[in-house]
Chains A and B, each alone.
Chain A
Amino acid sequence: MSTPPVTDGHSHDEPVDENLPARDDLYANPGLEEHHWRPTDVDPKAEKRAERQVAALFTLSALCTVLLLVAYFTIDADDTIGGLGAQNLAFGLCLAGALLGIGIGIIQWARKLMADVEIVEYRHPAASSEEDRAVTIQALSDGLEESGIGRRPLVRNSLLGAVGLLGLPAVVFLRDLGPTNAQVVANPPFPGSGLEHTVWTKGMRVVRDVVGSPIRPSDLEIGDLVNAEPEALFNGGEDGEPMEGVALQVAKSKGAVVVVRIEPDEITPGKGRENWSVDGILCYSKICTHVGCPISLYERTTHHLLCPCHQSTFDLADSARVVFGPAARPLPQLALAVDDEGYLVAQADFDEPVGPSYWERG
């Protein structure tokens, strides 16, 4: 393999200072270094050895693939090795071996056996020549001139109108993908549908999440936190059965609440909310007003409720005022009362929409 001829990259049409010697004479062109061959290029034994290495790596890969299949059929999915799942561990190791065997084999092949050539590639300016650019611009302006788009405003404007109107079907069709909030409110498909409403109603019991048992004020001590749900989740379905499907998801996603009991002296009741608590028991929406994460990181000494997603912090003793973070509104408060049997109930639905702010809310 001979080295390619080396030409210098300078063009000779630049003005040359006559007081200086010609540039090529200033330093002799050193040319390219002598090419050093790889051992595999000059020693047939080394070449054979490398060939065997590459083949061995590919064989190792094949072996790992076979072992992978063997592991799939022979290892029980419940078996463990050192606290790890035996089957997954075998899959991982075998697949890694199979892929690495092929990858390392190819690299070894390229490094030791494939052609060993040094190539010189000179850099050229990326732009097209002035001539090419002029031709292109000319062609473009000729085309514009021939189409007469500047001369015939009627054609141009009617085309623009037709193309613009094509956007309208997209708006209409996409709007039809789901009911608007106004449609949902006018004809609610589930109890508590729509952005402004939840499943809570006057007299609905506040029950513990998961177990669904109602709560007496005397059950709770100062510092208690209950993750609670509207009772309708557990008896609002058909024939008093638990809710199911979309109705359940809609009710749960907006109706989840946290109930806390705080020393009554430490509570600053909001304006008009003086009778919303029962013996220091307060109830707030669990859905963060920032982007709607469910929150229950509660600190009993500070009464702060922290959202884990973006660190919005609400002071539950002070109408869930935002004390830190990106949330713009306090958590909606659910007015509590006690029913005839002594259990906590809602006085009414939330008096404002729960969850994140939205366009029409203002």
Chain B
Amino acid sequence: MRLLNRSAGRLSRHRRGPLAGLLVIIAGLLLTGGLFTAIVNTTAQADETASSADQVAQGRDLFLVSCAFCHGQNGEGIRTEDGNQIGPSLVGVGAAAVDFQVGTGRMPMAQPGAQVPSKPELFDDEETAALAAYVASLGPGPAIPTEEDYSIEGLSDEEREAAISRGGQIFLTNCTACHNFEGSGGAMPHGGYAPNLHETSARHIYEAMLTGPQNMPNFANGNLSPDEKRDVIAYLYSLREMPNYGGFGLGGLGPVPEGMAAWLLGIGLLVGFAIWIAAHTTRTNKKKVDA
């Protein structure tokens, strides 16, 4: 109580001080500003819902320019007369598929072929979101996952460890066949390949499982639950931080590069060294002096 009285007294001593007026004005301004922002924000949110129609319209404009040539002007897909698919129908693929394909630069495709490679993105985040909104408006499909879908931030250490080990088992059962036991990717028939997963963002991995891009099978939520998907991502991220206790990883591609390194580099160096030794025995013209 004495403490309170004393600080009150100190305050009242300062209230006529030279800076008191300034402080009061600043406090007042902050309060008004804060209130204003809060109120304006609610109106802005209302605006966002209104602007989603604009976003779809913007997405449609982009779609007509960049995607319609293969996917059709309404995203219905195009087939040639002999039945070959030029671009599949996008009805029902959802925003997640667009966010993956456009967000990793796979679409728009440079040329048709066995593999649709990831390349620098052509659209910025806003344009990708607009395209996703437009394609999502064509038919119901998986939405873009949010951070809480694929992040293990909120879990305790024990839960994280459990998630990583369960994710590892799921990964080894469902994904390693194509993507390699370390997620380093691998060859597929007809010149295709399953890409390396070391650089792929968590959101894109999640979307790939959800939508099954190109030749990859789906792992829809009924197949691998959202928690299982999150665990797989946690496992892949734990691999990235894993030190190479056994020496250089050599891409984690298994015994072939390791054997090549041992035979070509290791034994090659030894052979080269042996040849170098044999070629460098110096001789002299001096005669031996008998003692």
Query: Which A residues fall within an 8 A CB radius of B?
Result: 36-39, 41-43, 80, 83-85, 88-89, 92, 107, 111, 208-211, 215-216, 218-227, 260, 295-302, 304, 306, 308, 311, 313, 324
Find the A residue at minimum CB distance from B245: A85
Interchain CA distance A92-B223 in the complex, whole Å: 45
**What is the bound-complex CA distance between A219 and B287, given in angstroms?**
93
- Report the Cα distance A223→B166, complex, angstroms: 24
- CB neighbours of B36 from chain A (8 A): none
Residue B109 interfacial (CB < 8 Å): no
Q: How distant is the Cα of A342 from the Cα of B217 in the complex, in angstroms?
A: 24
> 16 pairs across A/B with beta carbons < 8 Å?
A38-B282, A43-B284, A80-B245, A85-B246, A88-B246, A209-B174, A210-B170, A211-B228, A220-B223, A221-B222, A227-B173, A260-B217, A298-B217, A301-B215, A306-B189, A308-B186
Q: Tell me whether A80 and B243 are in contact (CB under 8 A).
A: yes
Residues of A within 8 A of B244 (CB): 83-85
B218 and A300 contacting across the interface, CB-CB below 8 Å? yes
Q: Does B177 contact A (CB under 8 A)?
A: yes
A347 to B191 alpha-carbon distance, docked (Å): 38
A42-B287, A85-B247, A219-B220 are known; give 15 further A-B pairs, CB within 8 A: A38-B284, A39-B284, A43-B286, A80-B245, A84-B248, A88-B245, A88-B246, A89-B247, A209-B174, A220-B222, A221-B222, A224-B223, A260-B217, A296-B174, A308-B177
CB-defined contacts of A296 to chain B, threshold 8 Å: 174, 177
Q: Which residues of B contact A301 (CB under 8 A)?
A: 214-215
Residue B80 CB within 8 A of the other chain: no
Contacts of B246 in A (CB 8 A): 85, 88
- If the complex has contacts A227-B173, A297-B177, A300-B216, are A36 and B189 also in contact, measured as CB distance less than 8 A? no
**Are the CB atoms of B188 and A226 closer together than 8 Å?**
no
- Given the known interface contacts A85-B244, A211-B228, A306-B188, the answer about A107 and B218 at a Cβ–Cβ threshold of 8 Å is no
CA distance A233 to B169 in the complex (A): 16
Interface assignment of B178: CB less than 8 Å from any CB of chain A: yes
Please, what's the 1-or-0 string for B268-291, where 1 marks a CB less than 8 Å from any CB in chain A?
Answer: 000000000100011111111100
Which positions 114-135 of chain B face chain A at CB distance < 8 Å?
none
B34 proximal to A (CB < 8 A): no
Q: Name the residue of chain B whose CB is nearest to the CB of A209.
A: B173
B33 in contact (CB, < 8 A): no
Tell me the bound Cα distance from A297 to B244 in angstroms.
Answer: 27
**1/0 per residue B2-40: CB within 8 Å of A?**
000000000000000000000000000000000000000
Interface size, B (range): 35 or more
B177 touches A107 (CB 8 A): no
Taken together as a complex, chains A and B put the C-alpha atoms of A43 and B283 apart, in Å, by 12
**Distance to closest chain B CB from A148 (angstroms):** 58
Minimal beta-carbon separation of B267 from chain A (angstroms): 14
Residues of A near B217 (CB, < 8 A) are 223-225, 260, 298-300
A232 to B287 Cα, complex, angstroms: 89
Judge if B219 is at the interface, Cβ distance under 8 Å: yes
Cα A89 to Cα B186 in complex, Å, equals: 28
Please give the distance in Å from B130's CB to the nearest CB on chain A: 26
- Whether B139 sits at the interface, judged by CB under 8 Å, is no
Which residues from chain B contact A36 at a C-beta distance below 8 Å?
283-285
| Interface flag for B251 (CB, 8 Å) | no
Kindly report which residue of chain B lies nearest to residue A107, judged by CB atoms.
B277
A74 to B244, CA, bound (A): 20
Closest chain A CB from B143 CB (angstroms)? 15
B257 at the interface (CB under 8 A from A): no
Q: Report B114 CB to chain A, min CB distance, Å.
A: 11
B178 touches A297 (CB 8 A): yes
Partner of B247, one of A88, A208, A221, A223: A88
Chain B residues 221 to 272 lying within 8 A of chain A, measured CB to CB, are 222-223, 228, 243-248
